[in-house]
Chains A and B, each alone.
Chain A
Amino acid sequence: VTPQQAREQIGPALTRAAPGSDIDTIDPGTDLRDALDLDSLDFLRFIEILSETSGRRIEEDNYPELATLDSSIRFLAARLPSQRAGFTWQRAALRRFTSHPSGCTG
């Protein structure tokens, strides 16, 4: 995901979560919750939509990385590919492990 693509996911997600919000009008470095007056339910909706469109579950522990527009773009753009790769690799490793349990002990 390029920064531009990330931005294109974030913009509509915010507009859907908080109708009337427009990412072009906010300072990309300020806290989204302050800039767009999001409460915890709005923010959850934002995360929910972003999880859906990016195809990746965003944990509560990731919330600090989604605090601002800039950090959200960085989060989606930079980390998504590597996380996906890591995830796939882990799954592959897990499959290997579960299909050959003996390989582990011996």
Chain B
Amino acid sequence: MAEFLMPSLGADMDEGTVLEWLVKPGDEVRKGDIVAVVDTAKAAVEVECFEGGVFGSVLVGPGATVPVGTPLAVITPGPMAEPKAPAVSAPALAPGPPPPSPASPKVPATPPVRHLARQPGVDISQVRGTGPDGRVTHADVQAAAATQRRPRVTPFARRLASELGIDLADVSGTGPGGAIRAADIRRAAPGAKAPPAAAPPGAAERPAVPLSAAAARPEPQPEAEQAAERQAAMRLAIGNLMARSKREIPHYYLSTTIDLEPMTQWLRSRNRELPVPSRIVPAALLLKAAALAAREVPRLNGFWRDERFIPAEHVHLGVAISLRNAGMVAPAIHDADTLSVADLMARLRDLVARARSGRLRGSEMTDPTITVTNLGDRGVESVFGVIYPPQVALAGFGKVTTAPYAAGGLLGVRSQVTATLAADHRASDGYTGARYLEAVTRFLQKPEEL
């Protein structure tokens, strides 16, 4: 029996929230199948399972937030093995509204254990029971109490709590990291509306954790507030990762101005022939050149792990995508060096659309071997980026401008772009970085070959 764990979807992820299960107990799953959607501070991510078999039982229901590495479900290896696992014959995961109130004492636990949980303020519905029938044991509560951190409280929630006269110690948070949000305060307020009551069949038989689904699927929150919380969580995640990068990685930076006149001209004539939906933006060509250069200079394409550089076999190009006012993500375009420009363009559009409104995949979040940031659209000339650990390099492109440029002994007005490289000095030296930018420059002089 294998456990399907909460995956780490990037170096900046400590915990995740199960948003949705896409398979149900008894379903046969193959390695790589998308089985669940997990929400991180940065995006809703479709996660693949790493083992085939029969999907046995769900240990963590929709809405619950758990640390990375927490078992989420049980997968029984081998085709069509009967999902006869103990304790878990029941959890029919019906779609639809979550089960009723988190306060309802459906968590299997004995009264003494319940009492024990009350002391350190452990939310028993959040504790995964390891006893028979998923019962929450003494040890479970103690473990939960030991690992319990002081919950964060959003400023708005704190204000609301003081206005409503609610003790924050009585409120269990459903935000990222167990943070207490305004919705939690409202629910804790006397006379609060009960959450949707229409429990799906079988809901009563769910094991401990899924009950918390009700707590984590709060009643509709004002959109602005939700967005603000989301943004705060995102800033925290980005901040932590970037602080780690700057703390651990000795960055060095290089910059060069690239003549883009050949590329611009080629693109203009190409786009005149293409149907509008197939039109190519300059960023696609810049990305392709960056990917080809990464293949040519493998020392910059890979990971720094355990005090050594591990080259990557493929070029999975991370693309920094602005989520407008809600932060950014840098998911991968797989094997970007092997894609035609048209394919790369299609993948880029798809990736950006999914990052902003839809869903990213787990592999896209974890795979990037080198990242490109392109701030050209925002009008800046150059960007010196911060490397995403454990990657060892980040290439940047600024705005494509027209400027005086000496080429072939003549001064002309030509398109150009400033390309930069931030690289990890532990893995490479400036000489290697210079070769990378030279390669990018060279590839961009022959756009038709990209």
Contact = CB atoms under 8 A, between A and B. Distances in A.
A and B interact? yes
Interface of A: 19, 33, 37-41, 44-45, 47-48, 51-52, 57-60
B282 A40 contact: yes
A48 B281 contact: no
A48 B349 contact: no
A36 to B, nearest CB: 9
Interface of B: 268, 271-272, 276-277, 279, 281-283, 322, 324-325, 348-349, 352, 356-357, 376-377
A19 B357 contact: yes
Given A19-B357, A60-B268, A60-B271, A41 B276 contact: no
B357 A48 contact: no
A44 B352 contact: no
Given A19-B357, A44-B281, A39 B276 contact: no
Contact of A39 (B271, B279, B322): B322
Contacts of A19: 356-357
30 contacts: A19-B356, A19-B357, A33-B377, A37-B324, A37-B325, A38-B377, A39-B322, A39-B352, A39-B377, A40-B282, A40-B376, A40-B377, A41-B281, A41-B283, A41-B348, A41-B352, A44-B279, A44-B281, A45-B349, A47-B276, A48-B279, A51-B276, A52-B276, A57-B276, A58-B276, A59-B272, A60-B268, A60-B271, A60-B272, A60-B279
Contacts of A60: 268, 271-272, 279
B344 to A, nearest CB: 12
Contacts of A58: 276
A17 to B, nearest CB: 10
Contact of A40 (B268, B272, B277, B283): B283
Contacts of A44: 279, 281
Given A41-B281, A47-B276, A52-B276, 19 more contacts: A19-B356, A19-B357, A37-B324, A38-B377, A39-B377, A40-B376, A41-B283, A41-B348, A41-B352, A44-B281, A45-B349, A47-B279, A48-B276, A48-B277, A51-B276, A57-B276, A58-B276, A60-B271, A60-B279
Contacts of B272: 59-60
A40 B374 CA distance: 11
A41 B271 contact: no
Contacts of A47: 276, 279
Contacts of B283: 40-41
A44 B356 CA distance: 16
Contacts of B322: 39
Contacts of A48: 276-277, 279
Nearest to A33: B377
A58 B356 CA distance: 26
Nearest to B356: A19
Nearest to A18: B324
A48 B277 CA distance: 6
B417 to A, nearest CB: 13
Nearest to B378: A39
A33 B378 CA distance: 9
Contacts of B281: 40-41, 44
A40 B4 CA distance: 39
A58 B279 CA distance: 11
Closest 10 CB pairs of A and B: A39-B377, A40-B281, A51-B276, A48-B276, A48-B277, A40-B377, A60-B271, A41-B352, A37-B324, A41-B349
Nearest to B281: A40
B368 to A, nearest CB: 19
Nearest to A38: B377
A57 B275 CA distance: 8
A38 B322 CA distance: 10
Contacts of A37: 324-325
A33 B325 CA distance: 14
A44 B348 CA distance: 13
B230 to A, nearest CB: 14
Nearest to B349: A41
Nearest to A59: B272
A39 B356 CA distance: 13
A2 to B, nearest CB: 24
Nearest to B271: A60
A40 B378 CA distance: 10
Contacts of B356: 19
A59 B325 CA distance: 30
Nearest to A19: B357
